[in-house]
Amino acid sequence: MKRTLLYLMPFLSVALLFTSTNPLLAQASPTEVAHTNQELVNIQDVAVVNNRAYLAVGVLGLKILDVSNPTNPATLNPQVSNANPNTIGVTVAGNYAYMACDTNGFHIYNISNPANPVPVGHNQTTSLVNGVAVSGNYAYLANNQAGLTVVSISNPANPVTVGNVPLSNSPYNKYASGVAISGKYAYLAAWTDGLCIYDISDPTHPTRVSQTTTNAFTAKSVAVSGNYAYVADYQSGLSVFDISNPANPVNVGHTNSAATTDGNPIHIAVSGNYVYLTGIYSRMYIYDVSNPANPVGVASSAQQNGWAYCAAIAGNYAYVGNSYDGLHVLFLGIPVPPRLNMQHTKTSTIISWPAPSANFVVQQNPGMSSNNWQTLTNRPMLVSGQNQITLPASPNPLFYRLKSQ
């Protein structure tokens, strides 16, 4: 989506322009637009791909919903597949759903016909499978006390273990519970072992490159965006790590407000400048992480029955799986761009826009008819809740715009 706001100031002969291909969402009041419980109790995980929601429904297995109309989710497979007890994790790639099934290992379903998902492959690992991520021809398993396990899925009918890296020798409570992939690295949330990062450039020989504890030593789930890893730290809310150097991740921000409200985070999702925490809560919590060093709580959903246990974000909607009463669909808000403002003196021009919204650059152009936009290198300062840039006054008309990166 692209929005353009033009502010003309004739007495200054200056125009201000905003343009964004990735606008911020107005997250103040997530609104429930649909709720379906049916037999969908104890939803452990949810993935949304191409207008379909794939639910890991505990002992009931895999459930698929059509969410092309988010206000009216429609069941596609009336008979829930219950071949795999305690299905607790799901990810989707192509025509297959990859399932983490606790004591029952790792399962693969052919979902080319969503009305009849068919189990096609199974790998019985040596420990519980708590989470799964897929990249290329490999599935990466959060394999409880066995750590990170890599499974070749080039033949979905015969998934084969090709690599494993155990957790540390620490005597404390440790188990791999969540996994994310970004580039040639795997990121594992491993409870007291914290955030573990692995080089998977050769999936058959994964190598741990770093391990760092979280604030509460209770890393439960992890999501990665850009140079940051976001960890649901069960007893301490949200922890943020700078992973620009995977060999030396740095804890740059955290908040424990969610952990002290009405529960503890188990699942985490990230979309744009926002992080979504769910778990042993009666609601979903939303944080603005446009400044990763200072996560700011901006909203929470209405209280639900049971736990708002897991969530997936697709477009302007959050799909929240509940431990007690099914799937809740929440509208997150209408895209609202930050307004660009200007003050002018005889010697300077001050341009400002609301914080936190740090992932923007200011560009200038001598004329609206040209496409000669140049990015200013001036570093914005934070002044009274505003990002602010001070420029020398120009005798000629200039046009400015705020553009998302």
Q: What is the pLDDT of residues 20-45, one digit of tens each?
A: 433 334 445 688 999 987 567 789 99
Compute the average pLDDT of residues 174-201: 95
Compute the average pLDDT of residues 324-334: 87
Instruction: Report d(CA 71, CA 79) in Å as an integer.
Output: 22
252 and 360 together in one domain? no
Q: Is residue 336 part of a domain?
A: no
Q: Is residue 130 part of a domain?
A: yes
Sorted by sequence, the CB contacts under 8 Å of residue 6 that are 6+ apart come out as: 15, 16, 17, 18
Where is the domain boundary, 272, 300, 331?
Answer: 331
Beta strand extents in 124-204 (DSSP E only): 131-135, 138-142, 148-152, 160-165, 178-182, 185-189, 195-199
Q: Is the pLDDT score of 3 beyond 70?
A: no
Cβ atoms within 10 Å of 316's Cβ, excluding its own? 16
Q: How do residues 142-154 score in pLDDT, each as one tens digit?
A: 999 999 999 999 9
Higher pLDDT, 353 or 205: 205
Give the pLDDT of residue 359: 57
184 and 321 together in one domain? yes
Q: Is residue 170 part of a domain?
A: yes
53 and 9 together in one domain? no
Higher pLDDT, 259 or 208: 208
Q: Is residue 166 part of a domain?
A: yes
Where is the domain boundary, 305, 331, 357?
Answer: 331
CATH number at residue 94: 2.130.10.10
Q: Is residue 338 part of a domain?
A: no
**DSSP helix/strand/coil, 140:** strand
179 and 61 together in one domain? yes
Compute the average pLDDT of residues 289-309: 87
Compute the average pLDDT of residues 216-235: 93
365 in Cβ contact with 372 (< 8 Å): yes
Q: Is the pLDDT score of 274 beyond 50?
A: yes
Where is the domain boundary, 311, 331, 351?
Answer: 331
Structural domain that includes position 256: 31-331
148 and 264 together in one domain? yes
104 and 204 together in one domain? yes
Name the burial class of residue 296, with classes exposed (0-12), middle (13-18) and buried (19+) by CB atoms within 10 angstroms of its CB. Answer: middle
230 and 299 together in one domain? yes
68 and 160 together in one domain? yes
349 and 217 together in one domain? no
Conformation bin of residue 84: beta by default, left when phi > 0, alpha when psi is -120 to 50: beta
261 and 396 together in one domain? no
Q: How do residues 342-359 score in pLDDT, each as one tens digit?
A: 888 888 888 887 765 555
| Backbone phi and psi for residue 325, each to the nearest 5 degrees, phi listed first | -135, 45
224 and 325 together in one domain? yes
- pLDDT band at residue 85 using 50, 70 and 90 as cut-offs: low
247 and 111 together in one domain? yes
Q: Is residue 142 part of a domain?
A: yes
Record the tokens describing residue 315, joined without a space: 């477009």
187 in Cβ contact with 177 (< 8 Å): no
Average pLDDT, the chain: 85
Nearest to 387 by CA among 338, 354, 343, 365: 354
Q: Is residue 299 part of a domain?
A: yes
Give the pLDDT of residue 9: 36
CATH number at residue 384: 2.60.40
Q: Is residue 203 part of a domain?
A: yes
Compute the average pLDDT of residues 115-123: 94
Q: How many domains does the chain have?
A: 2
Q: Is the pLDDT score of 380 beyond 90?
A: no
